[in-house]
Amino acid sequence: MKLFHHERALSAKIGNAACAGQGGARSARLGFGLVEILISAAIALLALGSVGIATSSNVNAFEAGNLRTGLNSKVNQALDRIVRELSLGDKATLIGVPAAPLFSELTTFDVPDTVSFATGVVTWKTTRVELQYEPSETDDGIDNDGDGLIDEGQVVLTRDFGTANQLATVLATGVAEYAEGEAFDASDENGNGLIDERGFALCFDGTRMLIRLTLERADSSGEIVRTSLSTTVTCRNGNP
């Protein structure tokens, strides 16, 4: 009897040990599974973050591309209009445009107004093209109108300048305070031969007038997108 009880007790101990071993194994497997889940979740989050960053970068690049396309169209339209007006001008009456490396932000000149069929006499009127600050902006280094740009300007064409009938037309807005690559520091950063030129700058290069224009816009993230273009024009008419 004692032997039987001893064997039964021994069997019970072995059985308990086996159960304990199985429980430990299950706990180990459970713990290992949680670690795997956490690692997988972390990798998934990193992957999603990378996708989000890439998507955001693609969206920003797309937006900047659209802005640049729009600016290219606007800068071309503005320069075409300025060239058309200046090509009609009388060079002898053109005021305010120096030879490079100097520059000006404005010029006035006479253009034909009417021609008498009886006498052939041409009457002339004065036109001005100039850079002004946008209506809500001032030269203070602050974004006064909240569009993300600082001290931006506009190119304005005024017909019948100096008369009671003068009429102003805005040819371009968002004109950069300084040309692309330039800053107010008495040096020629962009290497075009002019020093600290404004976003709209006029100068003579020999007999031709050189016109430079830089437009800018801010995208939704606050990054500034700029487009610059230059062209030349020759005044062809003469005022006898």
Q: How many domains does the chain have?
A: 1
Lowest mean pLDDT among 74-78, 100-104, 119-123, 179-183: 119-123
Lowest mean pLDDT among 16-25, 38-47, 158-167, 226-235: 16-25
Q: How are beta strands 153-159 and 106-115 bridged, if at all?
A: unpaired
pTM score, whole prediction? 0.72
* pLDDT tens sequence across 35-65: 677 777 777 666 666 655 545 555 567 677 8
Question: What span, in angstroms and rounded, lies between the C-alpha atoms of 18 and 16?
Answer: 5
Query: Is 51 contained in some domain?
Result: no
Helices then strands (H, E): number in the chain? Answer: 1, 7
Amino acid 221: pLDDT: 87
Cα angle: 64, vertex 199, 235; to 5 degrees: 120
Query: Is 83 contained in some domain?
Result: yes
Query: Is 1 contained in some domain?
Result: no
Cα distances (Å, whole numbers) of residue 116 to 59, 127, 150, 168: 59, 21, 48, 27
What's the rounded mean pLDDT across residues 220-228? 91
Residue ranges making up the domain that contains 99: 74-233
Mean pLDDT for the chain? 82
Query: Is 49 contained in some domain?
Result: no
Query: Is 13 contained in some domain?
Result: no
| 12: pLDDT strictly greater than 70 | no
Surface-to-core class of residue 112, CB atoms within 10 Å of its CB (0-12 exposed, 13-18 middle, 19+ buried): middle
